[in-house]
């Protein structure tokens, strides 16, 4: 996680974690998310805990040094009709508040086939930690603010519709639909404290704050963006046509845009592809 102030997350623990799983098919480990102090690590995986009979579809796990790996959220697979389509059974993309009290996740499903898939909803956003059972907030993929009070959801009404954005104040019943705005890239860390959102529209990148818009003067168009907790700094990635990839740092108040590093474009790589397929008996940790 990035807060723009050099926060010391326990990167070595995460690096060791990744190195271990790199040797055991790390393509199955997705969506890493940590608390502010780095003490809790959440991720999605189709793996199962050793010695268990957990199903082989995506679930959310938690790692805490004192307790090791724990299954955090497993959804039940149900087959529905018509079409024998499943329910939202895959738990993916955890998004955790800085203090670890609230977590948002995506419940996903697939469509068996047929014309009804055109208007199919594939993702739902859910929140844990508000008291009571998990709370549904919006169709789409949710991102939780660091203070755990707001959710930004990337929404597609069906597989052919363009993405738009929904903003949710978890203390209010209503949802604010931002039809003309979308997240930048995957939208991770697109939400700061107080619900300030890093978005883009036809005119370019911006900060949205409860209806107030502040335009951002990026020197190149972003393909990914990360907003600091205080919404005062942004790190973004750009891929200029015919050039190198660029990683930029942007200060909101001064509009200072600095290139942190550049790199030549590379082809797709995968830890899983590098080590080959993993047999079912080894899909554990």
Q: What is the pLDDT of residues 54-64, one digit of tens each?
A: 999 999 999 99
Tokens representing 250 are 């942007």
Identify the band that residue 94 occupies on the pLDDT scale cut at 50, 70 and 90.
very high
pTM of the full structure: 0.84
Most confident of 78-92, 113-127, 234-248: 234-248
Question: How wide is the angle at C-alpha 201 spanned by C-alphas 193 and 255, nearest 5°?
Answer: 60
Identify the CA nearest to 29 among candidates 105, 107, 92.
Answer: 92
- SS3 of residue 260 by DSSP: strand
Q: Give tens-digit pLDDT for 187-245.
A: 999 999 999 999 999 999 999 999 999 999 999 999 999 999 999 999 999 998 878 89
Q: What pLDDT shows up at residue 113? A: 78
Identify the band that residue 284 occupies on the pLDDT scale cut at 50, 70 and 90.
low
Residues 6+ apart with CB under 8 A from 44: 29, 30, 31, 58, 59, 60, 61, 91, 92, 93, 94
**Where do the structural domains in the chain lie, given as residue ranges?**
11-282
Taking a C-beta distance cutoff of 8 angstroms, is the pair 127, 134 a contact? Answer: yes
Taking a C-beta distance cutoff of 8 angstroms, is the pair 161, 148 a contact? Answer: no
CB atoms within 10 A of CB 53: 6
Fold type of domain 11-282: Neuraminidase (2.120.10)
Q: What pLDDT shows up at residue 112? A: 84
Q: What is the mean pLDDT of the chain?
A: 84
Identify the CA nearest to 71 among candidates 46, 88, 97.
Answer: 46
For residue 44, pLDDT beyond 60: yes
């Amino acid at each position: 996680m990035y807060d723009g102030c050099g926060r010391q997350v326990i990167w070595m623990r995460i690096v060791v974690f990744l190195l271990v799983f790199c040797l055991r098919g790390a393509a199955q480990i997705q969506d890493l998310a940590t608390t502010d102090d780095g003490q809790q690590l959440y991720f999605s995986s189709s793996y199962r805990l050793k010695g268990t009979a957990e199903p082989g579809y995506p679930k959310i796990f938690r790692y805490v040094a004192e307790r090791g790996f724990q299954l955090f959220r497993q959804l039940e697979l149900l087959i529905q009709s018509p079409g024998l389509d499943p329910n939202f059974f895959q738990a993916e993309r955890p998004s955790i508040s800085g203090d670890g009290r609230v977590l948002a996740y995506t419940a996903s499903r697939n469509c068996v086939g047929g014309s009804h898939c055109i208007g199919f909803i594939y993702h739902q956003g859910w929140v844990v930690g508000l008291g009571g059972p998990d709370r549904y907030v919006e169709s789409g993929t949710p991102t939780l603010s660091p203070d755990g009070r707001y959710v930004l959801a990337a929404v597609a009404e069906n597989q052919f519709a363009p993405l738009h954005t929904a903003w949710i104040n978890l203390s209010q019943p209503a949802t604010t639909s931002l039809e003309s705005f979308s997240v930048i890239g995957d939208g991770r860390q697109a939400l700061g404290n107080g619900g300030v959102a890093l978005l883009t529209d036809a005119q370019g990148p911006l900060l949205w704050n409860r209806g107030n818009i502040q335009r951002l003067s990026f020197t190149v168009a972003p393909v990914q963006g990360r907003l600091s907790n205080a919404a005062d700094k942004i790190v973004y990635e750009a891929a200029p046509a015919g050039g190198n990839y660029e990683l930029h740092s942007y200060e909101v108040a001064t509009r200072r845009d600095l290139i942190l590093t550049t790199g030549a474009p590379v082809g797709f790589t995968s830890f899983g592809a590098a080590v080959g397929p993993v047999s079912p008996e080894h899909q554990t940790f």
